Chains A and B, each alone.
Chain A
Amino acid sequence: MNDAFMAMRISSSGLTAERLRMDTIASNVANATTTRGANGQPYIRKIAVFQENLQQELDKTTGTYKTSFKGVKAVGIVNDDSPLRRVYDPTHPDADKDGYVTMPNVNIMNEMADMIASTRAYEANVSAMTAEKSMFSKALEIGK
């Protein structure tokens, strides 16, 4: 019975993953000009990393391993290593002696593009889930 809904659960894992990606994007946008992040350094852009979630199980009848799909899982949120922006603003409290402020390596345009991608990916997962639901309901009509 549980395998019947596996496709829906895979889609659900995709939805959860996109929610996490959206969280990191929201964090990046919110901290786009944060000059005092963790340990006093400017905020570093965060990227969510995902991994395919497979399950290997031993088939009791044949003795062979079979791989089943479990969707996607988040393996972590990593920092973006690209260089930080330096902006000339001598009046800023965090400006160095030359008048430059080190700003986070967040580009709002990139974040907006990522947000669109994330929203569309979420929609795609919802569509897959709806399709699976209607396939199941359609299969029930065979008995009518």
Chain B
Amino acid sequence: MVVNNVGNTSVSSVAIPNEVKTNDAGGTSFLDTLKEKLDEVNNKQIDADNLTQKFVSGEETDVQKVMLSTSEAKLSLDLAVQIRNKLVDAYDAFNRMQI
């Protein structure tokens, strides 16, 4: 099973209006933060995948470590999905706004 990098795919472009990108204050923009966190979630998936591979090939012997990393990956993804849902909700709310 190969987990591809999801950092720059459609999730961020769908969920976030373009206006967020312009950040005059010079700090890290919301979009950057989101991308960073999505990368972290993706890294957890990759870690879990690597550990599972190691376990089935006999390199890693601790089954609880494998289960821990897969659980962490799943919970991180659940959290990311919830945040995505919130972003889509916010985007929809803006879309429905009467001008």
- Residues of A that sit less than 8 Å from B by CB: 1, 5, 8-9, 12, 15-16, 19, 129, 133, 136-137, 140, 143-144
Residues from chain B with a CB closer than 8 A to the CB of A19 are 62, 64
Interface residues on B, range: 10 to 19
Contacts beyond the supplied A5-B75, A19-B64, A133-B71: 14 A-B pairs with Cβ under 8 Å:
A1-B37, A5-B68, A5-B72, A8-B71, A12-B68, A15-B64, A16-B65, A129-B71, A133-B75, A136-B75, A137-B75, A137-B78, A140-B78, A143-B82
A-B contacts, 23 listed (Cβ < 8 Å): A1-B37, A1-B40, A5-B72, A5-B75, A8-B68, A8-B71, A8-B72, A12-B64, A16-B62, A16-B64, A16-B65, A129-B71, A133-B71, A133-B75, A137-B78, A140-B78, A140-B79, A140-B82, A143-B82, A143-B83, A143-B85, A144-B82, A144-B85
Residues from chain A with a CB closer than 8 A to the CB of B71 are 8, 129, 133
Residues from chain A with a CB closer than 8 A to the CB of B78 are 137, 140
Q: Which of B41-99 contact A (CB under 8 A)?
A: 62, 64-65, 68, 71-72, 75-76, 78-79, 82-83, 85-86
Distance in angstroms from A26 CB to nearest chain B CB is: 14
Report the nearest B residue to A136, measured CB to CB. B75
Distance in angstroms from A141 CB to nearest chain B CB is: 9
Residues from chain A with a CB closer than 8 A to the CB of B40 are 1
Query: How distant is the Cα of A12 from the Cα of B66 in the complex, in angstroms?
Result: 10
Query: How distant is the Cα of A71 from the Cα of B37 in the complex, in angstroms?
Result: 27
Query: How distant is the Cα of A104 from the Cα of B80 in the complex, in angstroms?
Result: 56
Residues from chain A with a CB closer than 8 A to the CB of B37 are 1
Query: How distant is the Cα of A15 from the Cα of B65 in the complex, in angstroms?
Result: 9
Residues from chain B with a CB closer than 8 A to the CB of A136 are 75
Residues from chain B with a CB closer than 8 A to the CB of A16 are 62, 64-65
Q: CB within 8 A of A1: which of B62, B76, B85?
A: B76
Q: Are B68 and A143 in contact, CB atoms less than 8 angstroms apart?
A: no
Query: How distant is the Cα of A39 from the Cα of B79 in the complex, in angstroms?
Result: 57
